[in-house]
Amino acid sequence: MSDGHDPLIDFGFADDTWIDRVRDAEAHVVYDCIGPFEILQEVPGGGRSLVFRARDRRSGNVVALKILPTGVTLAARTRRRFQREFDVVRRLAHPGIVQVFGLDHIAGQMVLSMEWIDGVPVTEWARLQSSPRAIVPLLMKIAEAVHHAHQRGVLHRDLKPANILVDGEGEPHVLDFGLAKVTETPDPRGTTLTVSGQFLGTPAYSSPEQVSGSPEDLDVRSDIYSLGVTFYHCLTGELPYPPGDSIARTFAAITQGEIRRPSRLDSAIGRELEAILMAMLGRSRAERYQSLDTLLADLRRWLAGEPVLVRGQTRGARLVTLVRRNPLPAALITGLFAVVTASAVVFAFLFHRAESEAERAREVQRFLESVLLPGEPGAAIGQLDLEDLLTRVRDRLAVDLSDHPETRAEIYLTMARLHAALWKWADTDADATRALGYFQEHAPASDPRVIRCLSLQGIARAFLHDPSSVPLLEEVRSRLAQASELPDPAVARCLGNLGFARWQALRDTAAARSAYEDALELWKAIPTSPDDGRAGTFYGAAAFFSSHGDPAHAAVLFREALEGFRSDPQRLDAYIRNCLHDAGANLVRLERWGEADSLLAEAIRETPRWFVDERLVAGSWLRGEIAL
């Protein structure tokens, strides 16, 4: 983009497109031949590497070539992945696993030659079969091939239909061991990784422990889960969870969603085959088959018409499991409506106890802030539930307080602050506008509530890319400057917000840079206070400079922002978490791998295990790239 905007650290925005942009940036060259190999055709979908169908002119055999071109992002780590794939597959010998022939360095490029499989993904093959009984024998061959790898201490970690091809003879072949991990023992509890917070794999087919960035929990049962998703897809034609519209929503479905019963998608899948599939897809590793030989034993029993050993959950047991897995969301389901219904009773009690309008306002305000503001509203109970709660409470109060307009305006202002904490900017703007309507008519222009409303409007509209955000924030700056001649934290914060608005709403890089530099200069003249809000300015400025070609300066600003957030007693942990991630991603640009990995790992540790957002996805992906 002309303004240098970089989606890898997109301050305040959730977008998975940065992954595509990284991949699109890789070097891509048209090849006719590579060393002794004559290129016949390029095979799409190779990810970081290029994949070709080629002929080895020495033997005349058709082979598959994987090539790592020069200039690939994180190339040294990707080269290690190539070497690992060769080393891993070379130690395996099974008809269901592709053979590798050699790893060569040709003209500065790594070239991996392997067996060419003229086949289709296993899901395409399964779609043409007549019944589950026609599909299961082939699925067993796949499980036997993966079990062979497990017995030799190899985890695949990226099992999916695209990596399991069925040839013209109806034989399956497992390929692409580029993410495989060699372990010292095939025992499940011994086959683990050592670094937390990495994501390696393909989202839709990954296990809950993979998408949670917990590779220390990965073992053979993680491969069993991925096989379970693949088998489910083969037998039903669909994934266990409805596909999400972003990677983060897909991760959330895997870690929190309920699997659709396969028999509801295809009645030919009986209760016992369904029980086998569900046991492969247990949310926790303990709920799954503990090894592939026990899975294979049950599949043989099913084919023979014998009872399988695994048992499906009853409806009551599923409910108990759901509540155990998601105690807070499950409690909210029953408690949400109780809070909303009870609010009218609570406020009636408060009104009777209060003796004046001012006291009523303070009581209502204290109630709202004590219930809704503590902790981390954006993550403490999940955004969808909290947003629904805020909407219901706000609408109820608008009716109950119709005779108390000032109190109602105060509440709208509080709701605007809450929606800003959730980064729900359209709602922030709407609530701030409602509050401002009353305060502008009934309060003096110098009333801090007027300035607060204007500021919330301005920053919300900046996030919405609305150019009107700039004059709003300029008015705030003017009012603040008139109110104080001394260096004022509020003015410095406003300048930072103005820089953000000029960046995001106007795409005026020069004006944004000027505002950020003025804000940073002003902060130098203001004595440091734990709750002065300077961390937000430093965070925004760091994101700006990182996105506009100065990651070294951004690294210094990110460090100061993190120090400020950590010392602020009023901080929200979400801001620290996001800042940790963005600071780590910025250090990736500087190739300061160890420091980047440390910050990204801390960001993931600070994330509740049930909470998934785009930054968690991006951070886990970056840690995986650093580790490769």
pLDDT average, residue stretch 206-229: 84
**138 and 80, same structural domain?**
no
Average pLDDT of every residue of the chain: 76
**175 and 232, same structural domain?**
yes
What does R_g of the chain's alpha carbons equal in angstroms? 29
**182 and 61, same structural domain?**
no
pLDDT of residue 483: 72
d(CA 194, CA 179): 15
Write out pLDDT tens, residues 127-150.
999 899 999 999 999 999 999 999
- Residues in CB range of 621: below 8 A, 6 or more apart: 19, 199
Considering the domain boundaries, does residue 41 fall inside one? Answer: yes
| 612 — pLDDT class (breaks 50, 70, 90) | low
Segment (H or E) for 64: strand 62-68
pLDDT at 190 over 50: no
Give me the sign of the Cα torsion angle 124, 129, 135, 138.
negative
User: Percentage of the chain surpassing pLDDT 70?
Assistant: 68
d(CA 576, CA 602): 10
Write out pLDDT tens, residues 267-295.
899 899 999 999 999 988 889 999 999 99
pLDDT at 338 over 60: no
**Residue predicted with more confidence, 144 or 391:** 144
Write out pLDDT tens, residues 295-315.
999 999 999 998 898 875 444
Domain boundary among the residues 115, 145, 175 is at 115
**Residue predicted with more confidence, 187 or 155:** 155
Considering the domain boundaries, does residue 473 fall inside one? Answer: no
d(CA 171, CA 120): 11
Structure tokens at 79: 């080269």
416 close to 428: Cβ distance less than 8 angstroms = yes
User: Percentage of the chain surpassing pLDDT 90?
Assistant: 37
pLDDT of residue 387: 59
**125 and 109, same structural domain?**
no
Compute φ and ψ for 93, nearest 5 degrees: -140, 95
**Residue predicted with more confidence, 120 or 324:** 120
CATH number at residue 315: 1.10.510.10
489 close to 462: Cβ distance less than 8 angstroms = no
**Residue predicted with more confidence, 351 or 241:** 241
Considering the domain boundaries, does residue 454 fall inside one? Answer: no
One DSSP character per residue, 456-513 reads: HHHHHHHHTT-TTHHHHHHHHHHHHHHH-SS--HHHHHHHHHHHHHHHHTS--HHHHH
pLDDT of residue 197: 42
Please, what's the b/e burial string for 276-293 (b: 16 or more CB within 10 A of its CB; e: otherwise)? bbbbbbbbebebbbebbe
Report which listed range, 166-175, 245-254, 522-531, is most confident.
166-175
d(CA 171, CA 122): 10
Q: Pick the closest to residue 21 from 36, 10, 30, 37 (CA basis).
A: 10
Considering the domain boundaries, does residue 620 fall inside one? Answer: no
Centroid of chain to Cα 369: 29
Name the least confident of 98-112, 115-129, 361-375.
361-375
**154 and 79, same structural domain?**
no
d(CA 279, CA 459): 49
413 close to 364: Cβ distance less than 8 angstroms = no
**93 and 106, same structural domain?**
yes
**104 and 164, same structural domain?**
no
- Residues in CB range of 205: below 8 A, 6 or more apart: 158, 159, 160, 161, 226, 229, 230
pLDDT at 554 over 90: yes
Q: In which domain, by residue range, is 343 found?
A: 327-443
Give me the sign of the Cα torsion angle 245, 231, 257, 610.
negative
Name the least confident of 257-261, 360-364, 400-404, 448-452.
360-364
Domain boundary among the residues 443, 476, 500 is at 443
Residue with tokens 């909470």: 611
CATH number at residue 76: 3.30.200.20
- Return the half-sphere exposure (C-beta side, CA atoms, 13 A cut-off) of residue 448: 3
| 104 — pLDDT class (breaks 50, 70, 90) | confident
DSSP label at residue 184? S
pLDDT at 625 over 60: no
Name the least confident of 76-85, 172-181, 459-468.
76-85
**374 and 292, same structural domain?**
no
DSSP label at residue 607? S
Considering the domain boundaries, does residue 463 fall inside one? Answer: no
**336 and 265, same structural domain?**
no
pLDDT at 18 over 60: no
pLDDT of residue 304: 92
**260 and 388, same structural domain?**
no
pLDDT at 456 over 70: yes
pLDDT average, residue stretch 159-170: 94
Considering the domain boundaries, does residue 595 fall inside one? Answer: no
pLDDT at 157 over 70: yes
**287 and 176, same structural domain?**
yes
- pTM flag (> 0.85): no
Report which listed range, 329-343, 548-562, 587-601, is most confident.
548-562
- State how many domains the chain has: 3
**298 and 376, same structural domain?**
no
Write out pLDDT tens, residues 472-516.
999 999 888 877 666 688 899 999 999 999 999 999 999 999 999
pLDDT of residue 70: 56
Structure tokens at 581: 């991630």
Name the least confident of 1-10, 42-51, 205-214.
1-10
pLDDT of residue 487: 67
Considering the domain boundaries, does residue 505 fall inside one? Answer: no
pLDDT of residue 52: 92
Domain boundary among the residues 299, 323, 347 is at 323
Considering the domain boundaries, does residue 5 fall inside one? Answer: no
Name the least confident of 6-10, 19-23, 220-224, 525-529.
6-10
Report which listed range, 309-313, 544-548, 608-612, is most confident.
544-548
